Amino acid sequence: QQKVQQSPESLIVPEGGMASLNCTSSDRNVDYFWWYRQHSGKSPKMLMSIFSNGEKEEGRFTVHLNKASLHTSLHIRDSQPSDSALYLCAASHYAQGLTFGLGTRVSVFP
């Protein structure tokens, strides 16, 4: 069973719209969450990280974290075609390797 569950599997968003992605860990030992973005044919790049309960905003991207439910969400406002990519959620504990989810594929159409 996947330890990091992401939903939805895919998302189609109109340009200028809002994309909302979800991620939950089933591992109670997890302390930290990460969001990575991977454009087609490229390697993943870290987008945002969140370690504390609450919200963190960077430009058009906002992440939320609820540590009690081990749930994080990523919101992209004013979506652009360049935001079309695979979004990977990852969780980690201490110095162990990050565990990734299967990803949400976001397609932004003009």
Partner 1 sequence: GGIITQTPKFLIGQEGQKLTLKCQQNFNHDTMYWYRQDSGKGLRLIYYSITENDLQKGDLSEGYDASREKKSSFSLTVTSAQKNEMAVFLCASSNLQGAATGQLYFGEGSKLTVL
Binding site for partner 1 (CB under 8 A): 2, 4, 6, 31-32, 34, 36, 40, 42-46, 49, 51, 86, 88, 90, 92, 94-103, 105
* CB closer to partner 1 out of 25 and 101: 101
Secondary structure in 3-state letters for the chain: CCCEEEECCEEEEECCCCEEEEEEECCCCCCEEEEEEECCCCCCEEEEEECCCEEEEECCEEEEEECCCCEEEEEECCCCHHHCEEEEEEEECCCCCCEECCCEEEEEEC
CB of 108 vs partner 1, minimal distance in Å: 17
* CB closer to partner 1 out of 44 and 83: 44
